[in-house]
Amino acid sequence: MIALLRMFLVLIFAILMFVFGCGYCLFSPRNPKHVFTFGRYFGAMHRVFGIKLELRLPKDAYERGQATYIANHQNSWDLFTVSSAVTPNVVTVGKKSLLWLPLFGQLYWLTGNILIDRANRSKAKGTIDQVVDNMKKTRLSVWMFPEGTRSRGRGLLPFKTGAFHTAIGAETPIIPIVCSTTQDKIKLNRWNNGHVIIEMLPAVDTSEYNKANVRKLAEVCRNQMEEKLKSLDKEVDARNAADGVKN
């Protein structure tokens, strides 16, 4: 019964977001401000799924300059959890194939996000160069998932270097964002799905890195995120146990 109620609410939300949302964005298509707006709308849906979301952002999170944001990518629940951490003047970089998802793909593109062809390395590299050029011409920041795919309970996957080439080329710091594990912990037919913590880590200076040691930069960031993920999971497990929520 709980699952059916949630699916009904999601259907209503999808109609409002994907149909009317696309119509709204047509008045100012590809305007980056939409990413922050709709990120907040999607993030608010965590309550419908019985998730107690704690967002840990530094006080100056909305006032920072240009940066390259990176986050762990777990599953479809990211849409209703990690999206809460999107800050103003940020656009995300996703797979070109997202464009073909009915309604969501069109909304994703209309809100100003960037699509790249990850299946074609030469095209992907060219797109990264375009992202860098665009960042230099504007004050926009970008958000990327360096794992390149959803981990689906496999822990933090090896990082691809696209996000780090972007940060080095655009001469921006990297700001890691870590979401505690959600895989197999959220059930549609359970009223209380426990805690999820999302934390924005301190910025990583990229000024001492270049193309030659870009993998070192990726390793530094991945180690920090992996350590934080373990810490957050331990904290979440303790809170859920105290609340009587089974993993």
Residue numbers of the chain with a pLDDT score lower than 50: none
Q: 78-123: per-residue pLDDT in tens?
A: 999 999 999 999 999 888 888 888 888 899 999 989 887 766 566 5
Residue-wise DSSP of 84-108: GG--TTEEEEEEGGGGGSTTHHHHH
pTM: 0.93
Bridge partners, 200 (sequence order)? 177
CATH number for position 165: 3.40.1130
CA 183 to each of CA 55, 96, 122, 193: distance values in angstroms, whole numbers, following the listed order: 18, 24, 33, 12
**How many CB atoms lie under 10 A from the CB of residue 119?**
10
Write down the pLDDT at residue 121.
Answer: 61
Given this model, what pLDDT does residue 102 score?
Answer: 82
The pLDDT score that the predictor gives to residue 127 is 75
Domain hosting residue 191, numbered range: 2-243
Question: What's the total number of domains in the chain?
Answer: 1
CA 29, chain centre distance (Å)? 21
b or e along 197-214 (b: 16 or more beta carbons within 10 Å of the residue's beta carbon)?
bbbbbebbebeebeeeeb
Other Cβ atoms less than 10 A from the Cβ of 170: the count is 21
